[in-house]
Structure 1
């Protein structure tokens, strides 16, 4: 009986033996020409994000070197406010996430994704980066919400450092435990999934608790937080200064007449754009993952590559957002120690508070002189103004 030789798809680099093995063996995946092109596009977007974040980090490093040389008072303080530390951690996670995607260059070159040392390394870097981006974005959302809505002015860098340290310790612990406990098992822990290496489908619980759950928590929490704070920034919601759980609705035209207060609300809304960017990039990816959970093998390769291309640009979007909205912060600029408060609330700068207080004092003086003006109350430092 004649042996039937399988036909390899046009453009495949795999040998006949490797292609035959990939049919029944999940430890190897031969890429078609279309899959290689899709992976190339994903790698290009990740490379763009990697270069953008590295550029931002070089600016941060330049500012740190300048301060160490010229400002003695802040030589030991790289970060001066909680949001600086959180943004820096977000950039670090963006670098890891982008690096994991750029490592796909090897699979494009060889035409196959296969288990091994490089595969394990890519899976580890991917999990560190993607989970790090998700959890750091969650912290940015929560810090912004605490400062605006609840009036919890988080000024302590020690507290912020502790929270950030706990988050990254958890991420590293999950990565280490997953790779150590499942070493030597019949099913590889890191394997083709299928266009790159990550936690294989035989370890669903590790996928969920090591990464997926944080995607979904960040997505839900950021959405729930963004909606009310968006309407607060427009002046539609007024928060009670004495009880954060009490608020009322009003027409936007009846509030926020103070230009300084408008500036505060705009700055607060800007800090929520980071979670919004993440939600826009992660929502389609989460839908694809859920479809895969329910109906295995039903995902579309083209749709997956398009979504991952968009997701890969999240790092570049974060850099563009930061450079256009916060270019003069201590994290980027050459800030001297004088007049710079260490650990101010993440969404309200000290100049905003001073401007509001100055306007309030001016209004009080005019009221005493017989001129009727609104908004003359002093704004407590413990809460962002809601009126």
Structure 2
């Protein structure tokens, strides 16, 4: 073979390689519900873990691109790994897809400028630190941490209901920024924020995607004392929003309990079987004080209390009290056994008395002030306590 022919063949081979490197490109949009293995946040080979770490570092730095070794892993597998990074790190609220090239190049897409993303990240970091400092105490056990985070989200985030009805929900409402900064979110905003806060509190959790009542939905799977339970903070937040009210119907459920109205690919996640916390499901509008849970019984709204340690239950007063608030040693409640009039009673169940002679709802306290809504007019009333 002549020298010119050899050189020509070499040049042609290089040209083909260049063409192939251009052709072998895969673009992947953000995915929801990446399948996670059994009892670990992610199960990856050594090579996959290397790409995972590269992608995580690059996205956290808001880098436009990164490089991996295409001899160790197929470029076709990198997109799924990147999606897993995003799935397991809810602080990444700005990811908007990825393009992977067979030469080992990863090109990341973001939904905003780097400057704006950094500003939002700083706001989220500040908000997370504030939540941790105000809701998580040193001596809290795992259950108490999960409950504190669940309660914080329900009390401080409003479901973005109007925009949901009008199909105008913003991107922020699907992310932690909507829940923690704007205080408005849909299910993704709640569940990603819970995942982030649980992570900061040292609680292992999964962001679970599926459907509920036939619509796309997300919630969390949390690990307490070595066992898993489902938590759907979105469905525990009344819609339309009712300030000061927390439900526990979807707090720490088993697979069997949740599957009545939720659907998800169960093989993708650990199984929730613990029934240790079923007592929460009998509590409507519960308030925790001085080692007790005070609540309206789910069956008939009668006012009860439960000792947190012994789990002993006792009746506070034989009145129906679907709305209640606590300030100091007093429970204020809407007495549905007497026309919904505003009453108060000591935490001990003694010294019951009427406060207002009209029907009130939506009770809550803030800075030693009791707020209530007059049922007939919708007027907001207040009492200095």
What TM-score do you get using the length of structure 1 for normalisation? 0.28
Q: Which has the higher strand share?
A: 2
TM-score, normalising length from structure 2?
Answer: 0.28
* Larger Cα-atom Rg: 2
